[in-house]
Amino acid sequence: MQLGVIGLGRMGANIARRLHRAGHRCVVYNRTPNPVAELAAEGLTPASDSSDLVKKLTPPRAVWIMLPAGAITEGMVEAMSDLLSAGDILIDGGNTFYKDDIRRAKTLEAKNIAYVDVGTSGGIWGLERGYCMMIGGSKAAVDHLDPIFKALAPGLGGIARTPGREARDPRPEHGYIHAGPAGAGHFVKMIHNGIEYGLMQAYAEGFDILRGKAAAALPETERFTLDLADIAEVWRRGSVISSWLLDLGAMALADDSNLANFTGAVEDSGEGRWTVDAAVEEAVPANVLAASLFARFRSREEHTFGDKLLSAMRFKFGGHVERPAANSPAK
């Protein structure tokens, strides 16, 4: 199958690579030329701009936009709506706010262009591990794109199958789901990221307590100097709190148990805020998710060891680099 991919950053380039390795034909474009040249050298088809990308695809076309949420993606969606034709499909695989998806789908429907939103999880590891995808859009469009989603998804892998799923849709077991109409995919991914905030905060606070057990303020007989890298590692093996996030935390602690390369200023990319907004709209208590978001705000003012572990985990799974603190002295 053929697919146009616009936006060749940390995830976009590897999405195109994974599809190419699976035998799909990808036409790729990026605002800066170097990522396009790299993928062209690997056998993918380069495009000089978005118009050229559309011309190099055979109708009915499918184009995947992988850009930062907000004005950049909005502008590209508007541009593609003028370049694509009736029967084509436009995919947004970034972290767009789901209400924007609903609006865009309605606008594009007037031109008979299908709009599909894909909440994409996998970060910089997706090329090898595959991507977990939460998809919104019409059944016809999602079914048409199934070969693309199947190639990007991780597959069954070594995870034990859940009893009682034999008669259900097999796609979730392979790592992708048709969540519902336009907007549903990004809504599910938004909540996924809100939960991610809470999980990471729980690990961060727990390791902060472990590290603090050596504090001079405690009675000397009650102080423990604990090996955090070893604790993280043993919890990976048979523990009920094992997870991929813990795996990444263990990697960071094995690299440097003091996490000296991290300040602990933890950014938020928007989905945590939107999750809390949705909880307010629905009158659903979300104590942990809200507190984990507020903890990130606080981390930009004062930093704990737990904040450093949060930053380290974000860097490990997504390549997210800390921003310099606003009051940092110039070097």
Active site (catalytic) residues: 189, 196
Spatial contact of 133 and 177, defined as CB atoms under 8 Å apart: yes
The β-bridge partners of 91 are 64, 116
Token pair belonging to 87: 């029967």
**What's the one-letter identity of residue 217?**
A
| Gyration radius (Cα) of the chain, Å | 22
d(CA 49, CA 32): 10
**What's the one-letter identity of residue 272?**
G
Contacts of 246 (CB under 8 A, 6+ apart): 203, 232, 235, 236
d(CA 259, CA 203): 15
Q: How far is CA 161 from CA 158, 175, 299, in A?
A: 9, 12, 39
The length of the chain, given as a count of residues: 331
d(CA 174, CA 89): 23
Spatial contact of 63 and 57, defined as CB atoms under 8 Å apart: yes
d(CA 77, CA 71): 10
* One-character DSSP codes across 219-256: -GGG-----HHHHHHHHTTT-TT--HHHHHHHHHHHH-
Backbone angles phi, psi at 80, to 5 degrees: -70, -30
**Local structure of 89: helix, strand or coil:** strand
Backbone angles phi, psi at 239, to 5 degrees: -80, 150
